[in-house]
Amino acid sequence: MVETDRNSGLWPQLYAPLRGLGHRISDWLSPASDASSDENAYRISVELPGVGEDEVELSVENGVMTVSGEKSATREEKGDTWYFTEREYGSFRRSFRLPGDADADRAEAHMKDGVLNITVPRRAPDKGAGKTIAVKRG
């Protein structure tokens, strides 16, 4: 007799390889990227070969920077026989959570050789935020 409870028997064994599959597919279809920082700014580079500047949208909402767009498929036929294609086409989306000191209002983005380079300056620490309170006796 096959058990039908999802927490015991056959179901966990069948379900286990599929757990997290959506995240793995999303990561596979997302463009490759690098992120780094120094004392002045955060830098993000996203590989977007074959994508033009006008096909990329960069937005920031609730502390999350999102790069999205679409790589259009174009094919010029001149009588050659196509055996295969390994190039990927379609929409893409990649999101990055910005640290609290990132100044998204001053972010800049530049595209060169199929790589989108984003620079997000860091805000200067707020020196007026702290306060010392005297402790009195009594």
The full DSSP string for 93-121 is: EEEEEPPTTB-GGG-EEEEETTEEEEEEE
Enumerate residue ranges in the chain where pLDDT < 50.
1-5, 23-27
Distance, CA of 13 to CA of 8 (rounded, Å): 9
Query: What pLDDT score was predicted for residue 8?
Result: 53
Domains of the chain: 1-30 (no CATH), 31-74+81-121 (2.60.40.790)
Residues 59-69: tens digit of each pLDDT: 999 999 999 99
Query: What pLDDT score was predicted for residue 1?
Result: 44
Query: What pTM was estimated for this model as a whole?
Result: 0.65
Length of the chain: 138
